[in-house]
Amino acid sequence: MQRDFAGVAAGLEKRFRYDIVDKLDPRTGLSAMMRTTAFPASIIAQMMARGDVLERGATPQEKAIDPDKFVAELDRRNSKIRISEP
């Protein structure tokens, strides 16, 4: 899965590409599609249950949660995010 982002940091326009790299987990039998679909939803639900969500209501995920915590949780599940410049 690949996403491109653009924004301003320290007064400079920045562009990044995030790639989620995942594969079949032979131990559990979970496919990459199953993992990249279910893990983010599960992580956010757990963050909500712990009170880690920063916003309430219909808010985009990237504004409602701490991205560093989210990425750490993906990493803990062996789903890696690669960051590059497009």
Domain count across the chain? 1
Q: What is the mean pLDDT of the chain?
A: 86
Residue type, 58: A
Q: What is the pTM of this model?
A: 0.70
DSSP reduced 3-state for 17: strand
Cβ pair 71, 81 in contact under 8 A: yes
What is the share, in percent, of the chain residues with pLDDT greater than 90?
A: 29
Percentage of the chain beyond pLDDT 70 is: 98
How many angstroms separate the first and last alpha carbons of the chain? 14
pLDDT in tens, 35-77: 989 998 999 999 999 998 878 888 887 788 888 898 899 889 9
Judged against a pLDDT cut of 80, whether residue 6 lies above it is answered with yes
3-state secondary structure of 82: strand
Give pLDDT, residue 8.
Answer: 86
Domain that holds residue 67: 2-84
